Chain A
């Protein structure tokens, strides 16, 4: 046998020594973090860092431009809660907005979903029509409705006048007593699409047999809705409410577009007031303090939602 042949001769395979249990455990424990690292890195840079930095800035008096920041501790929070009148207006408006957002788009969305869930000619077209406002940017929605509410040239006042209801015409966005509500209506018009879609999806998961059984038992449409449909939409409702609440606290664009927080700051929300203080009035410390307050409020809804979704998964 030549040397070459000897080299080419396959060596008998030796079984690989078993990996110690401890090494395997460590590997399995470490592996998910390897996969999570890219996402964590991105999340840290674009979410965690700005949040932490904003919280840090809320401890300073700073105009956002000059290189020097003056450390004032919690003074910005004290100022917000004790001296900043607009902060309280904004907080109250956020509460009104939240209640309206939980009631209006969700109930209208559910109603539309129930109507459109039944099979009739053109139901798909109607679904698209009712969902259409949801795909528009809120700035565009704001612009459309600002023109509708225009006191002299707007559709609403013109229509009321033409219908002989001139007495009902208003300066819709100028009256500080009511200015927030026309904005809420515009926001509702835009926000109905998402709950409608989620409820439609939820309705499609309810087996038809349950309705038929209830029908055989003599239940009318209302009883079927109360005892069959709505209980089975519980999970969908929870998701809709949580998303709506979080979106309501984040509301910004439509108020900015329609009233700019006015008149005289009467329609400010926490988000818009945060923006104005930070970017227009050189009070970054106060603005970021509002951001921290807003974040804390959002957690009240976000934590139960995340826990629910995680448990479900």
Chain B
């Protein structure tokens, strides 16, 4: 792929083609040798300890060890939280005016309040050059992280989310991976008739169910309208969205999800595949290390497929994950935190630890190792024509996420019709828009 194509891709709205550009850039920059870190990040001279908040399962230890070995005068005070605790901790800290020097965050509406509220440090072009961010991170990953054209963090990972199937079950029943939406439904029907749960889901926090809902919206409404829904320009009352919600209800009624999935913890969904009770799941690449390899299973038995939305451009759900920095941190601690982010996104360091630190990485030229078939497969898609759309809980303002979740879950429970569910979301959208004129 030549640079002109990549540049064209990168000029498109970020929600549409980001990952394609991300991984195209990885390969292109890696192969042409353009990725050279010319920035010289400043190193604090004295002993400095800075704080880092991340999610417990994230493998930062290997990076911290390497960083502290390279810079013996700098120490990382690492605090780990569960996913929801992490959101709470950062929020409380921001209100209390005492944030961590650097913290893990997602993007979209989960990060924007900290950026608009002046808590997350803006990385100016000078700083990006100084810390090598402009050269080491693929430009499209930076675009995904940008809010109103400004960068407030250093992207570390890009996470596509899609349908995985368990190969041994498909082989046993002579099924092949679905390439279209119709084929997907036929596979579900066939699995159901064999007594296998077609799709395992843990809907307790609503976001796992949301992945399927989002997929249906992508299928029925198409990429352009899906993005307009996120920017609140399109109506949830439109027939396309109602069809998507009706399809969700249809799948529930047909028993394509596991019994009682609506209150099941997401962590309890994958075991259904591991015990051969379910055949598919809507998940991300992190299950490869955190669940499959950790359970001493063969990751090649869990195959990710592009969720067949039958739309162009081809997209799957996904997001980037980043480190953000506190604007009011002490200068030397802020400098050390920025140096840490710069260090772990240096191609040499990222390559050295790719197996432990996980994939897909946002660092130029850093591709998954061969013993990570899931991450490798996803990286290959994203090098091609597969784009990402943000999941609803990152795309919509957080004030609206509850309305979406409640409508979706009420639909699943049968207390709302698809029309009523969509009307409930749109009502919340209208109220939000009136309040934030």
Q: Point out residues on A near B: beta carbons under 8 Å.
A: 61, 63-67, 86, 146-147, 150-153, 171-176, 179, 259-260, 262-266, 276, 279-284
Contact call A151/B264, Cβ cutoff below 8 A: yes
Contacts of A284 in B (CB 8 A): 95
Contact call A281/B91, Cβ cutoff below 8 A: no
Interface string of B106-149 (1 = CB under 8 A from A): 00000001101111000000000000000000000000000000
**A152-B258, A152-B259, A282-B113 are known contacts. Are A65 and B399 too (CB-CB below 8 A)?**
no
Contact call A265/B91, Cβ cutoff below 8 A: no
Contact call B268/A65, Cβ cutoff below 8 A: no
Query: 15 new A-B pairs (CB below 8 Å) besides A153-B271, A281-B401?
Result: A66-B117, A151-B260, A151-B264, A152-B272, A153-B272, A153-B275, A172-B260, A174-B260, A262-B203, A263-B263, A264-B409, A264-B412, A276-B402, A280-B402, A282-B397
Contacts of B264 in A (CB 8 A): 150-151, 173-174
Contacts of B402 in A (CB 8 A): 276, 280-281
Contacts of A65 in B (CB 8 A): 91, 94-95, 113-114, 117, 119
Q: What are 30 A-B interface contacts by the 8 Å CB criterion?
A: A63-B113, A63-B398, A65-B95, A65-B119, A67-B117, A86-B406, A146-B265, A150-B264, A150-B268, A151-B259, A152-B197, A152-B259, A152-B272, A153-B275, A171-B259, A171-B260, A173-B260, A174-B262, A259-B263, A262-B203, A262-B206, A263-B203, A263-B262, A263-B263, A264-B262, A264-B410, A264-B415, A266-B413, A280-B84, A280-B401
Please, which residue of chain A has its CB at the minimum distance from the CB of B109? Answer: A282
Please, which residue of chain B has its CB at the minimum distance from the CB of A265? Answer: B406
Contacts of B192 in A (CB 8 A): none
Q: Closest CB-CB distance, B144 to chain A, in whole Å?
A: 21
Q: Closest CB-CB distance, B212 to chain A, in whole Å?
A: 15
Query: When chains A and B are docked, how far (Å) is the Cα of A175 from the Cα of B409?
Result: 12
**A172-B260, A264-B413, A265-B406 are known contacts. Are A279 and B275 too (CB-CB below 8 A)?**
no
Contact call B91/A64, Cβ cutoff below 8 A: yes
Contacts of B260 in A (CB 8 A): 151-152, 171-175
Please, which residue of chain B has its CB at the minimum distance from the CB of A150? Answer: B268
B contact residues, total (Cβ < 8 Å): 43
A-B residue pairs, 8 tightest by C-beta: A171-B260, A151-B260, A174-B260, A264-B409, A173-B263, A65-B113, A151-B259, A174-B263
Question: By CB atoms of chain B within 10 A, which of A63, A152, A171, A172 has the most?
Answer: A152
Contact call B413/A281, Cβ cutoff below 8 A: no
B181: interface (CB < 8 Å): no
Contact call B262/A281, Cβ cutoff below 8 A: no
Please, which residue of chain B has its CB at the minimum distance from the CB of A169? Answer: B259
Query: When chains A and B are docked, how far (Å) is the Cα of A176 from the Cα of B260?
Result: 11
Contact call B117/A279, Cβ cutoff below 8 A: no
Contacts of B399 in A (CB 8 A): 63, 281-283
Contact call A64/B412, Cβ cutoff below 8 A: no
Please, which residue of chain B has its CB at the minimum distance from the CB of A63? Answer: B113
Contact call A262/B262, Cβ cutoff below 8 A: yes
B386-437 at interface with A (beta carbon < 8 Å):
397-399, 401-402, 406, 409-410, 412-413, 415, 435
Contacts of B88 in A (CB 8 A): 279
B380: interface (CB < 8 Å): no
Question: By CB atoms of chain B within 10 A, which of A64, A146, A153, A264 has the most?
Answer: A264
Contacts of B412 in A (CB 8 A): 263-264
Contacts of B275 in A (CB 8 A): 153
B277: interface (CB < 8 Å): yes
Q: Closest CB-CB distance, B134 to chain A, in whole Å?
A: 28
Contacts of A66 in B (CB 8 A): 113, 116-117
B269-289 at interface with A (beta carbon < 8 Å):
271-272, 275, 277
Contacts of A174 in B (CB 8 A): 259-264, 413
Query: When chains A and B are docked, how far (Å) is the Cα of A72 from the Cα of B278?
Result: 50
Query: When chains A and B are docked, how far (Å) is the Cα of A172 from the Cα of B413?
Result: 13
Query: When chains A and B are docked, how far (Å) is the Cα of A176 from the Cα of B203?
Result: 14
Query: When chains A and B are docked, how far (Å) is the Cα of A176 from the Cα of B277?
Result: 25
Contact call B259/A281, Cβ cutoff below 8 A: no
Contacts of A173 in B (CB 8 A): 260, 263-264
Query: When chains A and B are docked, how far (Å) is the Cα of A279 from the Cα of B398?
Result: 10
Query: When chains A and B are docked, how far (Å) is the Cα of A66 from the Cα of B114?
Result: 7
Please, which residue of chain B has its CB at the minimum distance from the CB of A257? Answer: B265
Contacts of A262 in B (CB 8 A): 203-204, 206, 262-263, 409
Please, which residue of chain A has its CB at the minimum distance from the CB of B113? Answer: A65
Query: When chains A and B are docked, how far (Å) is the Cα of A6 from the Cα of B368?
Result: 98
Interface string of B278-315 (1 = CB under 8 A from A): 00000000000000000000000000000000000000
B353: interface (CB < 8 Å): no
Query: When chains A and B are docked, how far (Å) is the Cα of A265 from the Cα of B268?
Result: 20
Contacts of A153 in B (CB 8 A): 268, 271-272, 275
B233-282 at interface with A (beta carbon < 8 Å):
258-265, 268, 271-272, 275, 277
Contact call A151/B258, Cβ cutoff below 8 A: yes
Query: When chains A and B are docked, how far (Å) is the Cα of A282 from the Cα of B110?
Result: 10
Query: When chains A and B are docked, how far (Å) is the Cα of A282 from the Cα of B119?
Result: 16
Contacts of A263 in B (CB 8 A): 203, 262-263, 409, 412-413
Query: When chains A and B are docked, how far (Å) is the Cα of A175 from the Cα of B265?
Result: 15
Query: When chains A and B are docked, how far (Å) is the Cα of A64 from the Cα of B87?
Result: 12
Contact call A279/B204, Cβ cutoff below 8 A: no
Contacts of A276 in B (CB 8 A): 402
B70-127 at interface with A (beta carbon < 8 Å):
84, 87-88, 91-92, 94-95, 113-114, 116-119
Please, which residue of chain A has its CB at the minimum distance from the CB of B90? Answer: A65
Contact call A282/B258, Cβ cutoff below 8 A: no
Contacts of B406 in A (CB 8 A): 86, 264-265
Contact call B95/A64, Cβ cutoff below 8 A: yes
Please, which residue of chain B has its CB at the minimum distance from the CB of A279? Answer: B88
Query: When chains A and B are docked, how far (Å) is the Cα of A152 from the Cα of B206?
Result: 19
Please, which residue of chain A has its CB at the minimum distance from the CB of B275? Answer: A153
Q: Closest CB-CB distance, A175 to chain B, in whole Å?
A: 8
